[in-house]
């Protein structure tokens, strides 16, 4: 009865059935995310073991990789042979996880390379192969959204409104939708703003988007607010180039 009532309602939002290619991409992305969590947990465990011996390792994946190798190669740090053997085994497991992550990323790149919309999506600043794969797997057909704002709201990048009467109250972003895709979009926006600060053009280049980002940084007090706002803007650009089937044009953004 509920299904029949929903089918008669013109405002019912129907979720399209995923294709086999979308399901394959979603599986690869989920497997990659699980390996990333496993790698983080393993690195934290190794850091804790070394910190108990007074040997801290700096933050970051590259710093951890180099720091662990240097610690195991140092003969003057007082590590016992038992601990060294255990850490060497954990280091081999860590490298195996990294190899599996790289292999999955190669598979993801191979699948997204054959998609017709991939070149258009990849032309948008701050959007890389992983983000393109997540968009193809989780969004699918962008035409099911009436506008770029609807697609941004679907991904949880618009602010939550608690408006009553003539009082407009805007809260934080809703964080609805897929966490991995939203995280990739925010990281891409962070990289785009970072490149704009380090160079004159950055990956954003010249055009209206660069002027918009410059005004945004001057207007927003906290940088993270500007990053999320840019991620919201990029989603609207992605919807436009995706639905129109044209590459990104910085002069029209």
pLDDT in tens, 92-139: 999 999 999 999 999 999 999 888 888 999 999 999 999 999 999 999
Q: Average of pLDDT values for 185-190?
A: 94
Mean pLDDT of the chain: 89
Least confident of 115-129, 170-184, 191-205: 191-205
pLDDT in tens, 200-250: 667 787 778 888 888 888 887 788 899 999 999 999 999 999 999 888 887
- Which pTM value belongs to this model? 0.84
Least confident of 65-79, 142-156, 207-221, 235-249: 207-221
Least confident of 50-54, 71-75, 205-209: 205-209
Over pLDDT 90: what percentage of the chain?
55
**Would you say residue 187 has pLDDT above 90?**
yes
Higher per-residue confidence, 158 vs 13:
158
The secondary structure of the chain, three-state, reads CHHHHHHHCCCCCCCCCCCHHHHHHHHHHHHHHHHHHHHHHHHHHHHHHHHCCCCCCCCCHHHHHHHHHHHHHCCCCCCCHHHHHHHHHHHHHHHHHHHHHHHHHHHHHHHHHCCCCHHHHHCCCCCCHHHHHHHHHHCCCHHHCCCHHHHHHHCCCCEEECCECCECCEEEECCCCCHHHHHHHHHHHHHHHHHHHHCCCCCCCCCHHHHHHHHHHHHCCCHHHHHHHHHHHHHHHHHHHHHHCCCCCCCCC
pLDDT for 253: 62
- pLDDT band for 9, please (50, 70, 90 cuts): confident
């Amino acid at each position: 009865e509920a299904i029949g009532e929903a089918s008669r309602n013109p405002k019912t939002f129907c979720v399209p059935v995923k294709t086999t290619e979308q399901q394959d991409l979603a599986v690869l992305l989920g497997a990659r995310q699980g390996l990333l969590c496993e790698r983080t947990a393993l690195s934290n465990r190794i850091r804790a073991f070394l910190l108990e011996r007074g040997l801290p390792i700096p933050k970051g994946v590259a710093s951890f990789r180099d720091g662990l190798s240097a610690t195991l190669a140092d003969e003057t740090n007082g590590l016992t042979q038992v601990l060294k053997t255990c850490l060497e085994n954990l280091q081999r497991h860590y490298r195996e996880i990294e190899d599996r992550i790289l292999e999955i990323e190669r598979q993801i790149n191979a699948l997204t390379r054959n998609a017709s919309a991939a070149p258009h999506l990849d032309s948008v600043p701050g959007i890389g192969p992983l983000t393109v794969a997540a968009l193809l797997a989780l969004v699918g057909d962008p035409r099911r959204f009436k506008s770029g704002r609807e697609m941004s709201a679907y991904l949880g990048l618009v602010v939550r409104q608690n408006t009553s009467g003539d009082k407009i109250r805007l809260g934080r972003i809703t964080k609805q939708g897929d966490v991995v895709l939203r995280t990739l979009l925010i990281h891409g926006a962070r990289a785009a703003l970072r490149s704009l600060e380090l160079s004159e053009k950055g990956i954003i280049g010249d055009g209206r988007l660069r002027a918009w980002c410059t005004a945004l940084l001057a207007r927003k007090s906290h940088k993270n607010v500007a990053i999320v706002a840019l991620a919201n803007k990029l989603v609207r650009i992605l919807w436009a180039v995706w639905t129109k089937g044209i590459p990104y044009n910085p002069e029209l953004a």
